[in-house]
Amino acid sequence: MSATADPTAIFLSEAQELMEQLEAALLDLERSPEDRAVVDTAFRALHTIKGSGAMFGFDALARFTHLVETAFDQVRKGALSVSPALVGVTLRAADHMRGLLERPAEVDAAAGEIILAELKQTTGIATSGAASHAPAAEEAEGPATYRVRFRLPANALEMGNNPALLLDELRALGECTVAALTDPVPPLEEIEPSSCYLAWDVVLTTEQPRSAIEAVFIFVIDDMELAIERVREDPQRLGELLVERGDATPEAVNAALSRQDPVGALLVKAGDVTADRVASALAEQDHVRKVGAGAQSAAPKGADSMRVPAERLDSLMDGVGELVIAQARLKQLAGASDNLQMKSVAEEIERLAAGLRDIIMGIRMVPIGSLFGRFRRLVRDLSQDLGKDIALHTAGEETELDKTVIDRLADPIVHLIRNAADHGLEDAAERIAAGKPPQGQVRLSAVHSGSQVLITIGDDGKGLDRARIRAKAEAEGLIEPGAKLGDGELLQMIFQPGLSTAKQVTNLSGRGVGMDVVKRTIEALRGTVEIASTPGQGTEVTLRLPLTLAIIDGLLVRVGEGRYVIPLAAVEECVELSEAEDGRSKGRSILNVRGDLVPFLRLRDLFATGTPPDPYQKVVIVASGDLRVGLVVDQVIGDHQTVIKSLSKLHADVENFSGATILGDGSVALILDVARLISFGQTREDELKTA
């Protein structure tokens, strides 16, 4: 892997974030069209995409975005109001921009022209000219003098911005006087060589419009401090000029004049203004005497975060995983040794490895709100396509989840939201007839539950039709006619491939494709899918997912000669299986745990160990949702930090195991798939009940 990041890749990543910001801002404007802060956010996103796109060779993107930006610049200035039509056409423009960003060679240019024509018709303004950034009076023909004061961000040099080139572009516009402001420069021992500390005052006399000056800074304008003022053509006294520029107060100037010394020298001596600012003002004074002049600035704060490629975090997590395995080996050696110093070092390394593991896992965690934000546009489009009034409500956006998990959750949640909107929610007439408000509700929430995250997708629609599900399942041969099924098991049938209860096929759903993909994807993430539905009130699908896919806490057990790991998050308790209870349960494997009957599985029978059981077997009670099952093992060894290794493709069809881990002695222990074992245990118990 190259140590140097690809600048184009960085641009594409940042542009995707800007596109998400733009889309979110547009959806906010649809609800709050008068919110000026949201208008500014949308404009800044468009402006930055345009400037950066041109810098990295995405010329078609820059041209198209510039024309959209022109319309939003008029909104920002109050010349145009936000309307549903403007939001709609801008969202379509955003889709076109995304295409120009991701696959520029495949985008239909004619489609872009149609969008721009619609934008022109909606706004009533021309979209072929540059956005105006100044009043008409300042765009008048003839020479004018401007004061330009600017300060670049501290990281400007690192980002490839050259102040000298900016100054050269200003000089090309007309007669120019430049003065550097050095007062922001820290002492020599505090200077960072890669940081930009200087600010500049430029007095420019030009026949070009003010927008030409702003165009010089187009690629950095969002991150810098810039002030452009048109100044008087007649020369001013130095004191008046310093006051007008904001570099000195009238009181300080009057006090200096009363001492009858040169005002600049007195102000510098009194500490009211720095020498370089007086020199700059004198330079402006001289310039105005010839032709005319102007400026202002402020220091931006340094960045407190940095962008790191996800592959590097993955590599770092792999390294931490190997460290955890080595630490487990050291712990085992120390346990077998009488060397107290070795035991002390092993404990210290265990503490440090655990801390490092938690830090790295924390770095990989991102708020799930970054995923939830994508579905606002989806629900809006579904509402229009289906002709239903649908509102999306989200909760728990701050809940954090491993980035790898979040990246793979988008498609399953899209399927679930589409089904909720298409199948679950009734149209307005049906809802009113059922005593419901005409607007349908889709709920999306996330919450931590131990070492898992629960993501719920719900609606307030008509609920699942159990009779129809059973009929379709029997017709597809998935269940025997008249077979007895629990409610949960019946509802789970909707995740079977090819099963759809839709009465008609639409462009959104109805072909029986999607729900089985949802379940497979969630199970591949070591999660489970639970579903609940109340007729006439709605449906809820809950995704239970692990916080991370890399390292988990596990319970190490022995079955026969083999050792296995049970994810600790699923373990409720461990109890002993007495010989009497073992003998009583030979027919039906049921354990009485404080009055609750819990089915259990003898893992030695399931794994065909071929060895006699230990005299004192243990039962590990595991749970998933409302379901509980006991797993009979020969020995509970203890807790174990489990570095998860995926099974090879040769073992892809092996059931009951979700992965493997390496123990301290170098041997391999399989990780039990608790959800599959619970499902197997409950199914077998239901079969025995009906036998």
List pLDDT tens digits, range 255-310: 665 555 666 776 777 777 888 887 888 777 777 766 543 333 333 444 456 777 77
pLDDT at 606 > cutoff 90: no
CB 543 within 8 A of CB 515: no
The residue out of 290, 321, 352 marking a domain boundary is 290
Q: Say which residue, 477 or 442, is predicted with more confidence.
A: 442
What is the sign of the dihedral through the CA atoms of 640, 644, 645 and 649?
A: positive
What is the sign of the dihedral through the CA atoms of 461, 466, 472 and 478?
A: positive
Judge residue 482's burial from the number of C-beta atoms within 10 Å of its C-beta, 0-12 exposed, 13-18 middle, 19 or more buried: exposed
pLDDT at 423 > cutoff 70: yes
pLDDT at 458 > cutoff 90: yes
Q: Can you tell me the mean pLDDT for 223-240?
A: 74
Q: Which of 213-227, 276-290, 505-519 has the lowest mean pLDDT?
A: 505-519
In 10 A of CB 400, how many CB atoms? 17
CATH number at residue 328: 1.10.287
What is the sign of the dihedral through the CA atoms of 349, 351, 352 and 357?
A: positive
CB proximity list for 358: less than 8 A, separation 6 or greater: none
pLDDT at 503 > cutoff 70: no
pLDDT at 88 > cutoff 80: yes
Question: Model confidence at 53, in pLDDT bands (50, 70, 90)?
Answer: confident
In angstroms, the CA 420 to CA 401 distance is 24
Question: Model confidence at 445, in pLDDT bands (50, 70, 90)?
Answer: very high
CATH number at residue 586: 2.30.30.40
Among the listed residues 463, 464, 457, 460, the one whose alpha carbon sits nearest the alpha carbon of residue 375: 457
Residue 383 lies in a domain: yes
pLDDT at 314 > cutoff 70: yes
Q: Say which residue, 163 or 550, is predicted with more confidence.
A: 163
Residue 229 lies in a domain: yes
pLDDT at 197 > cutoff 70: yes
Residue 297 lies in a domain: no
Determine the Cα angle at 643 with ends 639 and 647, to 5°. 120
CB proximity list for 137: less than 8 A, separation 6 or greater: none
Q: How far apart are the first and last CA of the chain?
A: 60
In angstroms, the CA 502 to CA 519 distance is 19
Residue 1 lies in a domain: no
Q: Can you tell me the mean pLDDT for 352-380?
A: 86
Question: Model confidence at 450, in pLDDT bands (50, 70, 90)?
Answer: low
Q: Say which residue, 221 or 584, is predicted with more confidence.
A: 221
Same-domain check for residues 530 and 629: no
Same-domain check for residues 79 and 104: yes
Same-domain check for residues 225 and 325: no
Same-domain check for residues 221 and 266: yes
In angstroms, the CA 170 to CA 178 distance is 10
Same-domain check for residues 640 and 657: yes
pLDDT at 62 > cutoff 90: no
Q: Are strands 551-559 and 440-449 parallel, antiparallel or unpaired?
A: unpaired
pLDDT recorded at residue 260: 54
Q: Are strands 562-567 and 668-672 parallel, antiparallel or unpaired?
A: parallel
Residue 299 lies in a domain: no
In 10 A of CB 544, how many CB atoms? 21
Helix (H, G, I), strand (E, B) or coil at 276: helix
Torsion angles phi and psi, residue 24, rounded to 5: -65, -40
Amino acid letter, 483:
A
Mean pLDDT, the chain, rounded, equals: 80
Identify any residues that bridge with 659 across adjacent strands, giving them in sequence order.
Answer: 671
List the alpha helices (DSSP H) in 408-497.
410-419, 428-433, 466-475, 487-491
pLDDT recorded at residue 508: 54
Same-domain check for residues 199 and 281: yes
* Best-predicted range by mean pLDDT (110-124, 310-324, 385-399): 385-399
Torsion angles phi and psi, residue 190, rounded to 5: -100, -5
Residue 424 lies in a domain: yes
Same-domain check for residues 55 and 141: no
Each residue of 627-659: pLDDT tens digit?
Answer: 788 898 999 988 887 878 777 777 766 777 878
pLDDT recorded at residue 299: 37
**564: phi > 0 → left, psi -120 to 50 → alpha, else beta; which?**
beta
pLDDT recorded at residue 125: 66
Each residue of 128-152: pLDDT tens digit?
Answer: 433 333 333 344 456 888 889 999 8
Tokens of 196: 């930009």
Q: Describe the chain by its helix, strand, coil percentages, rounded to 5.
A: 45, 20, 35
Question: Model confidence at 609, in pLDDT bands (50, 70, 90)?
Answer: confident
The residue out of 528, 546, 564 marking a domain boundary is 546
Same-domain check for residues 83 and 110: yes
Residue 515 belongs to what H/E stretch? helix 515-524
In angstroms, the CA 197 to CA 301 distance is 11
Residue 129 lies in a domain: no
The residue out of 546, 570, 589 marking a domain boundary is 546
pLDDT recorded at residue 139: 46
pLDDT recorded at residue 425: 92
Q: How many domains does the chain have?
A: 5
Question: Model confidence at 184, in pLDDT bands (50, 70, 90)?
Answer: confident
Judge residue 539's burial from the number of C-beta atoms within 10 Å of its C-beta, 0-12 exposed, 13-18 middle, 19 or more buried: buried
Each residue of 22-45: pLDDT tens digit?
Answer: 988 899 888 888 888 888 888 888
Same-domain check for residues 470 and 484: yes
Among the listed residues 489, 490, 514, the one whose alpha carbon sits nearest the alpha carbon of residue 502: 514
Same-domain check for residues 73 and 191: no
Question: Model confidence at 393, in pLDDT bands (50, 70, 90)?
Answer: very high
In angstroms, the CA 284 to CA 265 distance is 17
pTM value is 0.62
- Structural domain containing residue 319: 310-367
pLDDT recorded at residue 296: 33
Residue 274 lies in a domain: yes
CB proximity list for 625: less than 8 A, separation 6 or greater: 528, 530, 542, 544
Same-domain check for residues 683 and 588: yes
Same-domain check for residues 183 and 253: yes
* Best-predicted range by mean pLDDT (1-15, 429-443, 473-487, 607-621): 429-443
Q: Say which residue, 449 or 414, is predicted with more confidence.
A: 414
In angstroms, the CA 285 to CA 279 distance is 10
DSSP states of 15-27 as a string?
HHHHHHHHHHHHH
In angstroms, the CA 36 to CA 480 distance is 62
In angstroms, the CA 176 to CA 167 distance is 9
CB 500 within 8 A of CB 476: no
Exposure b/e, 213-231, CB count within 10 A at least 16 = b: bbbbbbbbbebbbbbbbbb
Among the listed residues 354, 355, 453, 450, the one whose alpha carbon sits nearest the alpha carbon of residue 403: 453
CATH number at residue 46: 1.20.120.160
pLDDT recorded at residue 689: 58
Exposure b/e, 120-159, CB count within 10 A at least 16 = b: bebbeeebeebbbbeeeebeeeeebbbbbbbbbbbbbbee
pLDDT recorded at residue 645: 78
